[in-house]
Structure 1
Amino acid sequence: MVRIRPLAERFGLKLPKSLEGFVRKGIRAIEAAEDVLKKASEKDIEDFSVPLDEVKLLAPLVHPPKIICLGLNYLDHIEEDVTGRVKVVPSEPIIFIKPHTTIIGYGQSIIKPSFVKQLDYEAELAIVMGARAKNVSAEEARSCIFGYTILNDVTARDIQLKDVQWTRGKSLDTFAPIGPCIVTQNQIPDPTNLYIRTWVNGELRQNSTTKNMIFNVYEIVHHLSRVMTLEPCDIIATGTPAGVGYAMKPEPKFLQDGDVVRIEIEGIGMLENKVVEVNF
């Protein structure tokens, strides 16, 4: 891992102090960082590098203006019939909001309160907005996206299914692991065809691709921007494919104390978190 800010200072250049600052500056910050790396010699890179195993990976963003989530954006997940309420393919995205207090990073614990009996995982490709967007077309959406990351839309199914809407069952603290990084959109030329996989304790549970989305990332930004202003650093979770614990056969497999959830998305990396049960 290269410490890009002090490396930039070697060349008399300044970069944003935080990843949020990078996102808000958008393409200008990306180009500035790329320019630093082009100027740097192998010795420069070596001087400012740290082994990844010596670094604690924090959540890339911790106070996004909004975390917007899509429900039922993969046909195979609809067919799993987790909620028992939606029988047809949505004509427009189904959305809900998670608070930023749900965010944790790679390696941090997913806290399972003892009153939650049906804890579940949902692997999702997450969009990170890099520009303000209002009433943009799907074609214009690409230029508004900073990059992509992984989000685990952790869910208390027993609460979700008890309520008329989904917010409470998806908004408990630690219920949005995010990471391990943000990959800029220029490094992922086709986000509409990325594999997405989930393992629980080494058992493969979800194995799909983003080409199975009902609404692709650009269509999602278009639809959302018609009803709300999207801002830099907004996070948009794009829905989960089939294979959630609730839908396992012959019976559901919910997350328990000590379980390890690992999610991989092509081109981004791996997000891993352990479940810890707490009595309250």
Structure 2
Amino acid sequence: MSLKKASEKEIEAFSLPLDEVRLLAPLAHPPKIICLGLNYLDHIEEDVTGRGKAVPSEPIIFIKPHTTIIGHGQSIIKPSFVKQLDYEAELAIVMGARAKNVSAEEARSCIFGYTILNDITARDIQLKDIQWTRGKSFDTFAPIGPCIVTQNQIPDPTNLYIRTWVNGELRQNSTTKNMIFNVYEIVHHLSRVMTLEPCDIIATGTPAGVGYALKPEPKFLQDGDIVRIEIEGIGTLENKVVEVKF
């Protein structure tokens, strides 16, 4: 089974003015959300995790639950006990076909398209745990959107600008050329470990400029902050931070 690409006539038949709708996440219940850590050379230089600046020889992966997903315009919920909330702009792969033990060359035909994922992270929790799952798995910690762009509309995903603003201040300004493992190599490596399925989401890592690494001191997300991410060819994903006392 694979995802079907809609024709232009089918798209036009269901078109509505953007200001008349509320965008939901383009995928709400993917089979898996697989994320890469430390996949940008410029991000490794920041040494956020304290692992040093060694370049990984294989992808570093972790998984987020689908309950982290929200769409464009929805609120990122910051629990009041989380003191170091951070953003991570990421190009996300959306799988279109089953993939197991595929080569990097074969991976292209298995990809349906691309979207934006903000890998929201509670740094104070992530960095005191041995692994990263808890600090990255709170509800609303994976804004996704605003849409999925099919792979034929992005002929070169290895050379896209990726930028993040917080309250209008530019924080991340990089390009997917800085990836250590490109999108096709990522699918190849992951498919050697697990079967990738249609609608799986793969977040490909974040570039330099996360709040934790800013100088002279970190800048973490606070109640009311607006995070806006742009990736070339895909669009803009924007979400507001709302603090809630639990």
TM-score of the two chains, using structure 1 as the length reference: 0.83
For structure 1, the 5+ residue unaligned runs are 1-35
Residues 48-57 or 200-209, more deviating = 48-57
Residue range with higher mean Cα deviation, 166-175 or 41-50:
41-50
**How much does 1:93 deviate?**
0.2
CA shift in 2, pair 1:43/1:66, >3 Å: closer
CA contact (8 A) 2:39 2:206 kept: yes
Rg (Cα) greater in structure: 1
Matched residues in 2 for 1:147 and 1:55: separation?
23
Report runs of 4+ in structure 1 exceeding 4 Å deviation. Answer: 36-48
CA distances 1:200-225 after superposition (whole Å, capped 9, x unpaired): 00000000000110000000000000
Q: State the shift of 1:120 in Å.
A: 0.1
CA distance in 1, matches of 2:208, 2:6: 45
Distance 1:116 1:126, change over 3 A: same
- Measure how far apart 1:48 and its partner are: 5.4
Q: CA deviation at 1:167?
A: 0.5
Residues 227-269 of structure 1 deviation map (CA, whole Å, 9 limit, x = unaligned):
1000000000000000000001100000000000000000000
Task: Give the structure 2 partner of residue 167 of structure 1.
Answer: 133
Q: How many residues align?
A: 245
Q: Displacement, 1:87?
A: 2.9
Compare 84-93 and 177-186 and name the one that shifted more. Answer: 84-93
TM-superposed CA distance for 1:42, in Å, is 12
Matches within 5 A, 1:156-195: 156-195=122-161
Structure 1 residues 218 and 115, CA gap change in structure 2 (3 angstroms): same
2: distance between equivalents of 1:136 and 1:119?
Answer: 36
RCO higher in 1 or 2 (8 Å CA, sep ≥ 6)? 2
* CA distance, structure 1, for counterparts of residue 229 and residue 7 of structure 2: 35
Give the deviation of 1:38 after TM superposition. Answer: 16
Closer, same or farther in 2 for the Cα pair 1:46/1:191, shift >3 Å?
Answer: closer
Q: Structure 1 residues 90 and 201, CA, compared in 2 at 3 Å: closer, same or farther?
A: same
SS in 2 for 1:169: helix
Question: Secondary structure of 2:243's match?
Answer: strand
Q: Normalization by structure 2: what TM-score? A: 0.95
User: What displacement does 1:39 show?
Assistant: 16
More off after superposition, 83-92 vs 172-181: 83-92
Give the corresponding residue for 1:232: 198
| 1:49 to partner: Cα distance | 3.7
**2:107/2:187 contact within 8 Å kept:** yes
Change (3 A) 1:138 1:249: same
Contact kept? 2:85, 2:221, Cα under 8 Å: yes
Q: CA RMSD in A?
A: 2.8
Deviation at 1:50, TM superposition (A): 1.8
Question: Residues 48, 112 of structure 1: CA spacing in aligned structure 2 closer, same or farther, 3 A cutoff?
Answer: closer
The alpha-carbon distance between structure 1 residues 252 and 37, as it changes in their structure 2 partners (threshold 3 A), is closer
Q: How many Å apart are 1:85 and its aligned residue?
A: 1.7
Query: Does residue 127 in structure 1 map to residue 93 in structure 2?
Result: yes
Where does residue 7 of structure 2 map in the other structure?
Answer: 41
Q: How does 1:55-94 map to 2 (within 5 A)?
A: 55-94=21-60
Task: Give, in whole Å, the separation in 2 of the partners of 1:38 and 1:230.
Answer: 17
Residues 95 and 47 from structure 1, CA distance in 2 versus in 1: closer, same or farther, beyond 3 angstroms? closer
Higher share in strand: 2
Deviation at 1:278, TM superposition (A): 0.1
Inter-CA distance 243–51: structure 2 relative to 1 (3 Å threshold): same
Shift of 1:40: 13
Residue 78 of structure 1: how far off its partner (Å): 0.7
Unaligned runs of 5+ in 2: none
* Residues 80-125 of structure 1: CA deviation (Å, up to 9, x unaligned): 0111124310000000000000000000000000000000000000
The Cα shift of 1:43 comes to: 11
Do the aligned partners of residues 47 and 146 (structure 1) sit closer, same or farther apart at CA in structure 2, a change above 3 Å counting?
A: closer
CA separation in 1, counterparts of 2:74 and 2:31? 22
